[in-house]
Structure 1
Amino acid sequence: MRDARRPNVASACASAYPGADDRAGDRARRHNEGVTTTSAESGRSRPRAAGEGGARRRGKGSAPLASERREHLVRLAAELFAEKGFQATTVRNIADEAGIQSGSLYHHFDSKESIADEILSSFFSEIMSAYQAVLDRGDNPRDTVAGLVRVAFGTLEPHRAAVTVMQNDWNYLKGMARFAYLTKSEDEVEKMWVDTLRTGQEQGLFRADLDPKLTYRMIRDTIWVAVRWFRPGGRLNAEGLAEHYLKVMFDGINRH
């Protein structure tokens, strides 16, 4: 059963494709003949056949509209990947959810892998930049770890689908050549955390008997798994959730 919340987004996406059904067959045919359609073509208008009354004029807002269509498709696909899993989601599923023909989807993306690539690369680019900004402040290791935790929790709402896809399909996706950057990015993130934890140990701020890498991975996993139960609009927002987590992490549950 389709989520009752999604039709509004799907309808908006469908309305952004006037005449989608009429053009789908032609785009599908061109795709099968090996004509590659990319996002750069999103702002171009296809010339009409002779029987269609000449060339179609490009509207002034065609490029922004194409970008809006693309964003709609990415959002819809991200939700489907999160709910059904990447492997179980087909191009037809995405097109149906958007209210368009499958051929129309190929006007923007050559495959569902391309959509997942955009979702995950955007997520990693944003979170790594935010992590680096925390490190660049030059705070003591305890405050730096707190800042990193806040950044991680801050992704749960805007990047809920990306985090869920990572939870569910990480092992499958990282085995594909185009997603090789996932492992590289995760290694870079791990180094940021582990170096900070190790420095804190050297400065006597953190316990010396804890393994920094294992500690980071436990922190990482307990944060990311929250995406399964955290819902915006509850008693705590992401910021409040991060502060509660920091109390447990730094102070524990025992009375002192």
Structure 2
Amino acid sequence: MRRRILDAAALSLAENGYQATTLRGIADVAGLKAGSIYYHFASKEQITVEILNEGVEYVSDAVSRAVDALPPDAEGRTVLKAAIDAHLSALSAHKAYTRASIRCFSMVPEDIREQTIETRRDFDGIWLDTLKRARSHGSLTGHTDLREVHRIILGALNWTIEKRGGPSTRDHALSETLLSLLAS
């Protein structure tokens, strides 16, 4: 039941945004009475925190697993490709959660952002470590500001969630374009 509520809330947040999402609307999508949500969650805010964190964790875990699965001496381009492809795949596989997280983070009250910031910092750390690894294995120039590269990559990849149909196999072209711009 808890997962059913979260799934319904993720869909609502992804489609309608934070302000337009209500507990009554979540209950309708989940096929429940609004009051039964309180058995599992104290508030819309608690639900939102979980969804925003899960959306980031899905992608973070996928990127981490993909990069960790590579041999330690993998070329930098291979490391970047694995991370980019895993990111795109996770966006697509968990679309309601990832889209809700991307779309709503800037809309939510500060106290909700504060409860999700550690998860986002951990995710940023995974990407920054990936970029450092790629640099040390022959990609990215030594003077490249990795934080800026990180922002560019995330902006490009996360944009795909807003395209009609979301991330798809057509995003292979985006992956290749990013690699050609970033990796030597």
Scaled by the length of structure 1, the TM-score of the pair is 0.60
**What's the CA shift for 1:181?**
4.7
Q: In the alignment, which of 38, 41, 56 is matched to residue 124 of structure 1? A: 56
Aligned counterpart, 2:178: 249
Aligned counterpart, 2:78: 143
Listed one character per residue, the Cα deviations across residues 152-185 of structure 1 (whole Å, up to 9, x for unaligned) are 10122232222222232213447216x5352222
140-149 or 159-168, larger mean C-alpha shift = 159-168
Q: Is the 8 A contact 1:134 1:148 kept in 2?
A: yes
Q: Distance in 1 between matches of 2:109 and 2:148?
A: 21
List, as ranges, runs of 4+ consecutive aligned residues in structure 1 with deviation greater than 6 Å.
none
Aligned counterpart, 1:207: 141
Where in structure 2 are there 5+ consecutive unaligned residues?
none
Bigger relative contact order, structure 1 or 2 (CA pairs below 8 A, ≥6 apart): 2
Q: In the alignment, which of 109, 116, 119 is matched to residue 182 of structure 1? A: 116
**What's the CA shift for 1:202?**
4.4
Distance 1:212 1:75, change over 3 A: same
Aligned counterpart, 2:37: 105
Q: Is the 8 A contact 2:83 2:130 kept in 1?
A: no
Distance 1:200 1:156, change over 3 A: closer
Q: Which residue identity lines up with residue 176 of structure 1 in the other structure?
A: D
Q: Is the 8 A contact 2:59 2:86 kept in 1?
A: yes
**What's the CA shift for 1:192?**
2.4
Aligned counterpart, 1:225: 159
Q: Is the 8 A contact 1:92 1:102 kept in 2?
A: yes
Q: Which residue identity lines up with residue 55 of structure 2 in the other structure?
A: F
Identity across aligned pairs (percent)?
24
Q: Distance in 2 between matches of 1:161 and 1:91?
A: 17
Q: Is the 8 A contact 1:156 1:163 kept in 2?
A: yes
Aligned counterpart, 2:10: 78
Higher helix share: 2
Where in structure 1 are there 5+ consecutive unaligned residues?
1-68
Q: Distance in 1 between matches of 2:49 and 2:124?
A: 21
**What's the CA shift for 1:209?**
4.4
Measured on the aligned residues, the alpha-carbon RMSD in Å equals 2.5
Q: In the alignment, which of 125, 132, 141 is matched to residue 191 of structure 1? A: 125
Higher-Rg member (1/2): 1
Q: Which residue identity lines up with residue 247 of structure 1 in the other structure?
A: E
Listed one character per residue, the Cα deviations across residues 114-134 of structure 1 (whole Å, up to 9, x for unaligned) are 222332333333333322223
Q: Is the 8 A contact 1:174 1:183 kept in 2?
A: no
Listed one character per residue, the Cα deviations across residues 6-53 of structure 1 (whole Å, up to 9, x for unaligned) are xxxxxxxxxxxxxxxxxxxxxxxxxxxxxxxxxxxxxxxxxxxxxxxx
Aligned residues: 178
Q: In the alignment, which of 150, 164, 182 is matched to residue 216 of structure 1? A: 150
Q: Is the 8 A contact 1:78 1:162 kept in 2?
A: yes
Q: Which residue identity lines up with residue 72 of structure 1 in the other structure?
A: R
Listed one character per residue, the Cα deviations across residues 65-88 of structure 1 (whole Å, up to 9, x for unaligned) are xxxx33222222211111111122
Distance 1:72 1:83, change over 3 A: same
